[in-house]
């Protein structure tokens, strides 16, 4: 999946979370959990945008892991919302499914990014010397 396609998917997911929060019951517990899932469910799209402008491989990996943590938090919130029966299962299942798919994507991406070898400063300097000779 291209970075642009993943970003669009995350934006769509965030939009669905926003719609769900806006339709929550307006009592204390749903308002509290709604605020929590609003933050965690929209965060992956924002952090993925930051990851695309990462200053280093470590910075990129850190931001990808933040996306993953936020998606996992969102999943727990979704499970709690389902347990409370605030929405029909038919409305929650597609969001939970998308959340699970996004978690899988970020797990795989983080593994791939962490496996790629890093160039140490001495190797970089050595390669520069070879290019100049």
What would the pLDDT profile of 52-67 be if each residue is shown by its tens digit?
999 999 999 999 999 9
Q: What is the number of domains present in the chain?
A: 1
The pTM for the full model equals: 0.83
The CATH number of whichever domain residue 35 belongs to comes to 1.20.1440.60
Domain of 11 in residue numbering reads as: 3-132
What distance lies between CA 78 and its chain's CA centroid? 15
CA distances from 9 to 36, 42, 99, 115 (A): 21, 12, 11, 25
DSSP category for residue 123:
H
- 1: Cβ contacts below 8 Å, ≥ 6 apart: 9, 105
Convert the pLDDT of each residue in 23-54 to its tens digit. 999 999 999 999 999 999 999 999 999 999 99
- HSE value, Cβ hemisphere, 13 Å, CA-based, for 22: 6
């Amino acid at each position: 999946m291209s970075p642009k396609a993943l970003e669009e998917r995350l934006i769509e997911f965030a939009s669905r979370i926003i719609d769900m929060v806006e339709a929550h019951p307006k009592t204390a517990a749903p308002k509290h959990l709604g605020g929590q899932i609003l933050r965690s469910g929209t965060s992956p799209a924002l952090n993925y945008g930051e990851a695309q402008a990462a200053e280093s491989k470590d910075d990129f990996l850190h931001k990808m892991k933040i996306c993953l943590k936020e998606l996992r938090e969102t999943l727990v919130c979704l499970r709690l919302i389902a347990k409370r029966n605030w929405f029909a299962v038919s409305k929650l299942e597609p969001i939970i499914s998308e959340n699970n798919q996004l978690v899988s994507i970020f797990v795989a991406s983080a593994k791939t990014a962490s496996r790629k070898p890093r160039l140490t400063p001495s190797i970089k300097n050595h390669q520069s010397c070879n290019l100049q000779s």
